[in-house]
Amino acid sequence: MLNNNYRTIYTPTSIQPHGILLVLKQPQLTIQQVSGNTWNFLGIHPESLLKNKLKDLITLKEYTIIKNALAGEEERINPINLSINKKNKIVLFNGIIHRISQLILLELEPKNSKIERNQFSFYHLIKNPIAQMEKARTIDELCQVIVREIREITGFDRVAIYRLEADGSGGIIAEDKVANLNSLLGWHYAASDISESAKQLSLNNLLGFIPDVNYEPVSLIPQINPVTKQPLDMSLSILRSVSPFYIQYLKNMGVAATMTVSLIAGQKLWGIIACYHQIPKYVSYQIRTVCEFLGRAMALELGAKEDRQYLDYQLKLKSIQSTFVEAISQADNLLDVLVADPNRLLELVGAEGAIVHLDEELITLGKTPDLEEIQDLIDWISSQIEPDIFETDSLAKLYPAAEKFKGVGSGLLFLSISKIHKHCILWFRPEILEIVKYSDDIPDSINLETEPECQGLTPHQSFARWKETVRLTSLPWQKCEIESARELRSAIVGILLRKAEELMEIKAQLEIRVKERTAELIEANNQLQHQLSQRQKAEIALRQQVERERLMATISQQIRKSLNLREILHTSVNEVQALLQADRVLVYRIWDNGSGSAIAEATAPGCLRILDIVFPEETFPEECRLRYLHGGIYALTDRENGEVLPCLVEFLEQIQVRAKLVVPIIQQDILWGLLIAHQCSQSREWQLWEITLLQQLANQMAIAIQQSEIYQQLQEELRERQQAETALRESEMKFRSLSECSHIGIFLVDSEGKFTYTNPRCQAICGCTFPEALGRGWVDFLHPEEREEILNRWKNAVTNNGGFVSEARYINIQGKIRFCRLQTSPMVTPEGELMGHVGTIEDITESRAIAQMKNEFISIVSHELRTPLTAIHGSLGLLANGVYDRKPQRGKQMLQIAATQTERLVRLVNDILDLGRLESGRVTLIKQSYDAAALMLQAADGMRGNAEQNNITLSVNTINIEIWVDPDAIVQTFTNLISNAIKFSPHGSTILLSGELISNNISTPGQNLTELEDYVLFSVKDRGRGIPSDKLETIFGQFQQVDASDSRQKGGTGLGLAICRSIIQQHGGKIWAESILGEGSTFYFTLPLSPHRVIT
């Protein structure tokens, strides 16, 4: 849709390759043009199809359907299911027909019936989007619903809404996308990027589709249409090939497939729904139809939503204006009222800054230019601007000096209160670029070598062009904002004038009161004379009045007693019929379409009943209804007196009416119905009191109708409130359930930081109960060394209405220190008032310790690996350099050093792997009942050769008992302990390996509590140099040795005992060492007798 010429948009003379185009001439539907890819789809060369008739290609039934459609509105039947024989195989297509002047375009897209059957249920696909659209209150909400639902339906990577502005530019106002894509939200595009031809195309053809931007265009054969002698108009074609500039633009965006849906509001292009995908993507015709339908549905909603938003904004401005008028009318000082609430004056016209100039005072509110610049601006306005109100969205174009303060004052709304005294108000708006928010990290994928002419076709370049067009320009002032300022001026001037006129008005009122009093005395005298002469008439009228009041009291009592409208109406007509002695009294309800029916009726015996009979609109024509709506009545004394039209006389005869009296029932300025009295047997002169009675009764009925409707409305509101309360309780229960089960602490604090709620995890971290935490501040538990610094940062975040995250030491009530991660977010009312904060607290003590252990482990492993590697590198380096070429014995020594260090490396890696698998749980111990003596002898036999080399004796005291162990793991444990004993024992000494059964309640050395189960205690005792007492626990750690030189002199990795401890602990046992320096050491470990007995 980039700005390029008419030909590339409307007459490209080629199509995209995912379908076929046939151009037909009526009436025989002869093929005049065809796309060049028919062989791929039909197995027929395109030249062979030319001049043939369509009916030769498809079935007779399908041909008949198309002919019938062309006789009416052809687009209603799209798509048409077509089947074409391709080399004795039926190929299914979706056929889409369009009419271009005297030509018919038939587009064929291959059908995948399985996919379309699974994907498409029109009602199912639109049901949820339509429901969500109805819930949306604003245009922003509506747009977000559409992009979300269309992406859900189509599966595109990104769906966005591009809105066109009045000046032809546009921007992205809504977006839904996959997580790995950068956002386009807030990006704008220059008006020059979309030509008028492209806009007109979007108005005529609502949907555009490119499944693969790397497609090869398929040419039409022939290029010039034989009928029109011109290139084919393809504006309605879905398969139409698109502009190469637009294709390059998409490639530069990294887009491989796209679909667009035009949004038409008020016969103008309001915007475009744009769908993008990073790889080629085909969308079926049915799914595209759903998206087009949703676009049309959204377009219908746009006008109402825009009107509603504008009306809401007008009402908001009216409310602010009313507040100003009320305050000004009661105040003595106008300036104090205007600046009392700075936000109120700014919101009156939607500005971000304002200047009030009254009585030589200059008051600034919000974001404004400097005072010196303001004074110069006021002087310029005084000399150049005549009207009392003046607005511009580009002040710098009229007043070049304004460019210096464009960031706060590109737009100006000036209001003159008094030109003589230069009293005025100036409102400012910033440059548009100051308020537009967008992401600046959208990547461009331009291939500069292959497409140098397309380097400007990127979002960045377009955005740059747009920014240049809006430079020195603010958002325009809306009509309602200007009117709001104008009405403020009128109110101010009016109030000031009113105060000046109050004294003269008081004088005039006194004169009027004197004249009125004189006239009242004269009138009272005349009335007294008249009353004396009318006494007898008054007595008659009084009796009638008593009857009327009795009737009104009865009806009023019925209204108070019951809110049932049907009961009230029936009581009323019965009472009136009895009082007037009329043949029939009824309440006639007028419906919205002009028809009506009697909904309450009272009749004399033998009189025809017309209750519930529906009468047409002609019974009471529009001129009658207008008369009744204005309170008019109708009294007919006799249908035979010639006053009534013949057609109405016939109608009155049918319902047996001779005379009638009609009084309107008006409910809230609407003609709700009529109260009618009929005399059926004879004529009747209706009396004034009878007319008055029916009028009063009609008024009472109107009240009853209103009360009944209010009652029904209250009942409905009560049901809705009960439902809302139930939902609120359910929501609160869900929140508490989630909070109570959370492994992260959750708390609420008031605006002063005092706890109002804590969940169990938060209570556990603070070491207090829920009641103990109430009223305490969350900062009370911070470590004193960090409290002031963290509190200051939190207050900073609160001032800026932002969230707060920090790590800190927490001291609970018991004095225990834990490292915690804190996070808080503000809770504000819809009016922006701070209610408090919601926060989380997470104990990260163990994770910090684990991280430290990992770092230490990596450091040690690096050191242990570096030592043998250094020796290997040095030895091999000397050999490689030929230093010992003539000293073969020394060369062999160097090789022996390298081999020894290599073996050490292998042992180190194997030990690390073994320890890692044990501690991570990746090694599964296969436990079984096994003889303890066999394991001890197996381990001793394996190490006996090593012992004999070092002139050391191995002595084994076996114990014959079944233990529950993994045999290989226990042999490895014995072997590691025996190997260590051999390394550190002097020549000629003895190493003792023994085992014994420990029964219940027998305490053993090195254990802190009495065992409750039987187990076996094994020991390996040597006569070595011994272990210092401060090393007895640390030697079971990783890379731990009593003397650092042992690693070099004795060999070993420092991991053997760590492996032993892991094996024994996984068997549910314990391992420890006892030693006396200079006398030797003994290593103990325990193992269970059964699989269910675990030592604590």
Supply 834's token pair: 């701070």
Residue that wins the pLDDT comparison between 437 and 799: 799
Burial of 105 (0-12, 13-18, 19+ CB in 10 A): buried
Angstrom distances, CA of residue 653 to CA of 602, 609, 633, 650: 19, 14, 21, 5
Q: What is the pLDDT of residue 1047?
A: 47
Type of residue numbered 660: K
Query: Is 993's pLDDT higher than 80?
Result: yes
Angstrom distances, CA of residue 1024 to CA of 944, 981, 986, 987, 1055: 18, 7, 6, 10, 20
- Which contacts of 764-771 are long-range, i.e. CB under 8 A and separated by 24 or more positions? 765/810, 765/812, 765/818, 765/820, 765/841, 765/843, 766/810, 766/812, 766/813, 767/812, 767/813, 767/814, 767/816, 768/812, 768/813
CB 905 within 8 A of CB 1028: no
For residues 952 and 959, give the distance between their C-alpha atoms in angstroms, rounded to a whole number. 23
Instruction: Give residue 116's pLDDT band: very low, low, confident or very high (50, 70, 90).
Output: low
365: number of CA atoms within 13 Å, CB side?
23
- Domain assignment present for 226: no
Shared domain for 485 and 566, answered yes or no, is no
498: number of CA atoms within 13 Å, CB side?
10
Shared domain for 207 and 282, answered yes or no, is yes
- Domain assignment present for 836: yes
pTM of the model: 0.44
Query: Is 28's pLDDT higher than 80?
Result: yes
Q: What is the DSSP string of 831-855?
A: TS-EEEEEEEEEE-HHHHHHHHHHH
Task: Name the domain boundary from 802, 817, 843.
Answer: 843
Q: What is the pLDDT of residue 902?
A: 75
Shared domain for 838 and 875, answered yes or no, is no
Query: Is 32's pLDDT higher than 80?
Result: yes
Q: In which domain, by residue range, is 1055 found? A: 924-1088
Shared domain for 548 and 688, answered yes or no, is yes
Shared domain for 438 and 559, answered yes or no, is no
Supply 596's token pair: 């009506």
Query: Is 1006's pLDDT higher than 50?
Result: no
Shared domain for 821 and 855, answered yes or no, is no
For residues 15 and 108, give the distance between their C-alpha atoms in angstroms, rounded to a whole number. 12
CA-closest candidate to residue 662, choices 770, 715, 590: 590
- Domain assignment present for 733: no
Q: What is the pLDDT of residue 18?
A: 94
Q: What is the pLDDT of residue 866?
A: 65
The predicted model gives 363-378 an average pLDDT of 87
- Residue 614 C-alpha from the chain's centroid: 51
Q: What is the pLDDT of residue 1094?
A: 41
- Residue 93 C-alpha from the chain's centroid: 39
Angstrom distances, CA of residue 689 to CA of 332, 534, 548, 903: 56, 16, 9, 126
Per-residue model confidence as pLDDT tens digits over 1033-1084: 878 876 666 654 554 445 555 677 888 998 898 888 999 999 888 889 999 9
Residue that wins the pLDDT comparison between 781 and 239: 239
Query: Is 888's pLDDT higher than 50?
Result: yes
Dihedral sign, Cα of residue 324, residue 327, residue 332, residue 338: negative
Query: Is 561's pLDDT higher than 70?
Result: no
For residues 1002 and 1014, give the distance between their C-alpha atoms in angstroms, rounded to a whole number. 9
Shared domain for 839 and 706, answered yes or no, is no
The SS3 call for residue 25 is strand
Shared domain for 562 and 688, answered yes or no, is yes
- Domain assignment present for 533: no
Shared domain for 853 and 796, answered yes or no, is no
The predicted model gives 693-702 an average pLDDT of 86
- Domain assignment present for 70: yes
Q: What is the pLDDT of residue 681?
A: 86
Query: Is 242's pLDDT higher than 80?
Result: yes
Per-residue model confidence as pLDDT tens digits over 619-667: 778 788 888 888 899 999 898 887 777 778 888 888 889 999 999 999 8
Q: What is the pLDDT of residue 1?
A: 41
The predicted model gives 377-390 an average pLDDT of 83
The SS3 call for residue 585 is strand
Per-residue model confidence as pLDDT tens digits over 958-974: 999 999 998 888 988 99
Shared domain for 131 and 268, answered yes or no, is yes
The predicted model gives 78-96 an average pLDDT of 87
Tally Cβ neighbours within 10 Å of residue 876.
14
Q: What is the pLDDT of residue 541?
A: 61
Q: What is the pLDDT of residue 450?
A: 43
For residues 302 and 299, give the distance between their C-alpha atoms in angstroms, rounded to a whole number. 5
Shared domain for 136 and 251, answered yes or no, is yes
Instruction: Residue 573: give its domain's CATH number.
Output: 3.30.450.40
Q: What is the pLDDT of residue 1095?
A: 39
Q: What is the pLDDT of residue 916?
A: 58
CB 812 within 8 A of CB 768: yes
For residues 147 and 135, give the distance between their C-alpha atoms in angstroms, rounded to a whole number. 15
What is the overall mean pLDDT for the chain? 81
Q: What is the pLDDT of residue 259?
A: 96
Instruction: Give residue 190's pLDDT band: very low, low, confident or very high (50, 70, 90).
Output: confident
Dihedral sign, Cα of residue 126, residue 127, residue 128, residue 133: positive
Q: What is the DSSP string of 543-559?
A: HHHHHHHHHHHHHHHHH
Task: Name the domain boundary from 80, 112, 144.
Answer: 112
Instruction: Residue 798: give its domain's CATH number.
Output: 3.30.450.20
The predicted model gives 374-382 an average pLDDT of 85
Q: What is the pLDDT of residue 220?
A: 95
Q: What is the pLDDT of residue 548?
A: 67
For residues 34 and 41, give the distance between their C-alpha atoms in angstroms, rounded to a whole number. 13
CB 616 within 8 A of CB 595: yes
Classify strands 389-392 and 361-366 as parallel, antiparallel or unpaired: unpaired
- Domain assignment present for 802: yes
Q: What is the pLDDT of residue 434?
A: 57
Residue that wins the pLDDT comparison between 407 and 214: 214
- Domain assignment present for 450: no
Per-residue model confidence as pLDDT tens digits over 504-524: 676 677 678 767 777 777 777
Kindly state the percentage of the chain with pLDDT values over 70: 82
Supply 150's token pair: 């269309």
Q: What is the pLDDT of residue 218?
A: 95
Supply 1015's token pair: 């187990």
Angstrom distances, CA of residue 331 to CA of 355, 358, 498, 790: 20, 15, 13, 46
Task: Name the domain boundary from 277, 309, 341.
Answer: 309
Instruction: Give residue 679's pLDDT band: very low, low, confident or very high (50, 70, 90).
Output: very high
Shared domain for 91 and 186, answered yes or no, is no
CA-closest candidate to residue 939, choices 896, 888, 892, 976: 976
Dihedral sign, Cα of residue 341, residue 347, residue 349, residue 350: positive
Per-residue model confidence as pLDDT tens digits over 475-488: 889 888 888 888 88
- Domain assignment present for 736: no
Q: CB under 8 Å to 595, separation ≥6 — which residues?
A: 614, 615, 616, 617, 619
The predicted model gives 454-458 an average pLDDT of 55
Instruction: Give residue 446's pLDDT band: very low, low, confident or very high (50, 70, 90).
Output: very low
Q: What is the pLDDT of residue 990?
A: 93
Instruction: Residue 356: give its domain's CATH number.
Output: 3.30.450.270
Instruction: Give residue 533's pLDDT band: very low, low, confident or very high (50, 70, 90).
Output: low
Per-residue model confidence as pLDDT tens digits over 126-168: 888 888 888 888 888 999 999 999 999 999 999 999 988 877 7
Number of domains forming the structure of the chain: 7
Supply 247's token pair: 């294709």
The predicted model gives 120-124 an average pLDDT of 71
